[in-house]
Structure 1
Amino acid sequence: MTTVHQANFGGLRERKKARTRAAIREHALRLFREQGYESTTVEQIAAAAEVSPSTFFRYFPTKEDVVLRDDFDDRILEAFGRQPASLTPIAAIRAALREAIATLTPAEWEEFREASVLGLTVPEIRARTLDELSRTIDVMAGALAKRIGRTADDLTVRTYVGAVFGVMLSVLSPAAWGADVGEQTFQRMDEALALLESGLPL
């Protein structure tokens, strides 16, 4: 009984943390929209989310992180891990993307769009984007290496992941999507990954 109680308590605590994190991010994006990124302070975000500034920093180390860090990458990685071994790595990535996208609510889509625009228009956030991209590539390389029985620093693994992310970035660039990121963007990304898998015939 004690073990069950502890498991339930742990689950409740994790859900509470997830709600707090989501509330902070929701209020931050609202304030950025209403008064601009530069004019919004961490103190204002914390007050709107009814948490202390120190609590804000427990969830997001910097103001930039509230834009850059969501759980979408985690959803993709979890879905990637569930794909059958019979799929090629790119096919598994495409399937994982489709699964993750299907979990997004309309409100989450709106947050995703706003964060994407901020990430490309606010200099401080753009400067951090490469760091976050490097971290995501490392994580994905680890997931792919586990899937195919290699190490995360294997040159083939790193090259493969680099090619996949290169395709994704080419579709997510402002020249490709303008001012909006939506389901059609990810449909185009899926098509681009299919081209990569086929050897990019010209």
Structure 2
Amino acid sequence: MAAEPTPPPSLRERKKAKTRAAIRKATYRLAAEQGWDAATTDRIAEAAEVSPSTVVRYFPVREDILLTDENDAYLEARLRARPAGEEPLESLRAVVLEAVRTALAEEPEETLLRARLMAEIPSVRARLTETTAATGRRLARAIADRTGRDALDLEVRIFTAAALGALREATVHWAENGHADDLPRLLDRAVDTLRNGLTAPPARP
């Protein structure tokens, strides 16, 4: 039997998505032009043409405007759709690289700015740790289902946290070095490091 088609979003849902997008766009513009400290709630609200209370209702923590979006649900769905029997680390590599390449292609300036603020602003970096943990809990459910474990198993939590932590540090490294390298290549290196472990560099002649 064919799957039931996903119903289109309601008018209310479309309005909410439009408001969230306007708040994000205003925040990125202010942060890019005047710095993160200038992107206050009041100024974001003015630029997005909404009230300050609306900004707070959608994003109680200001840093979440940069760090949270609807991608967690997408990543979980893509992770669940990976081929059966594929190693969990390879599944994570595939879905994260896909998401990053899409972001770099569709929102290059926002992606670069977000990474730079993650590296430079302590409050953004601190909040990133919390949002990464939330993402990890969601992805852990998919990994647990794929491996026949419980999402609360210590091994599942360690695996997911280690993988996302490595990918986060690769992104920060990219920003700290002026985005000079290729981000997908750095993420690949991060996954390879988890897989292969750390060895001493070759001795210099």
Q: TM-score surpassing 0.5?
A: yes
SS of the aligned residue for 2:103 comes to coil
Letter in 1 for 2:154: L
Aligned match of 2:4: none
Q: 1:122 to 1:75 in 2, by over 3 A?
A: same
- Which stretch of structure 1 is more off in the superposition, 116-125 or 186-195? 186-195
- Which stretch of structure 1 is more off in the superposition, 63-72 or 96-105? 96-105
Aligned match of 1:156: 155
Using the alignment, how far apart are the partners of 1:153 and 1:177 within structure 2? 34
Using the alignment, how far apart are the partners of 1:181 and 1:139 within structure 2? 32
Output the aligned Cα RMSD: 2.5
Q: What is the aligned length?
A: 193
Aligned match of 1:100: 99
- Which stretch of structure 1 is more off in the superposition, 143-152 or 188-197? 188-197
Q: 1:67, 1:119 within 8 Å by CA — same for their partners in 2?
A: no
Q: CA deviation at 1:11?
A: 3.8
Letter in 1 for 2:75: I
Aligned match of 2:197: 200
Q: CA deviation at 1:114?
A: 0.7
Q: CA deviation at 1:102?
A: 4.2
Q: 1:170, 1:176 within 8 Å by CA — same for their partners in 2?
A: no
Q: 1:75 to 1:180 in 2, by over 3 A?
A: farther
Aligned match of 1:4: none
Unaligned stretches of 5+ residues in structure 2: 1-6, 200-205
1:88-167 to 2 correspondence within 5 Å?
A: 88-104=87-103, 106-167=105-166
Q: 1:24, 1:46 within 8 Å by CA — same for their partners in 2?
A: yes
Runs of 4+ residues over 4 Å off in structure 1? none
Sequence identity percentage: 37
Q: 1:29, 1:111 within 8 Å by CA — same for their partners in 2?
A: yes
Using the alignment, how far apart are the partners of 1:61 and 1:201 within structure 2? 40
Aligned match of 1:57: 56
Q: 2:101, 2:184 within 8 Å by CA — same for their partners in 1?
A: no
Q: 1:79, 1:99 within 8 Å by CA — same for their partners in 2?
A: no
Q: CA deviation at 1:201?
A: 7.2
For residues 26-59 of structure 1, the C-alpha deviation after alignment (integer angstroms, 9 at most, x for no partner) is 1111111222221232121112111122221222
Q: CA deviation at 1:61?
A: 0.9
TM-score (norm: length of structure 1): 0.81
Letter in 2 for 1:188: L
Q: CA deviation at 1:177?
A: 5.3
Letter in 2 for 1:93: L
Structure showing the higher helix proportion among its residues: 1
Q: CA deviation at 1:157?
A: 0.8
Q: 1:177, 1:185 within 8 Å by CA — same for their partners in 2?
A: no
Q: 2:45, 2:52 within 8 Å by CA — same for their partners in 1?
A: yes
Unaligned stretches of 5+ residues in structure 1: 1-6
Q: CA deviation at 1:154?
A: 0.5
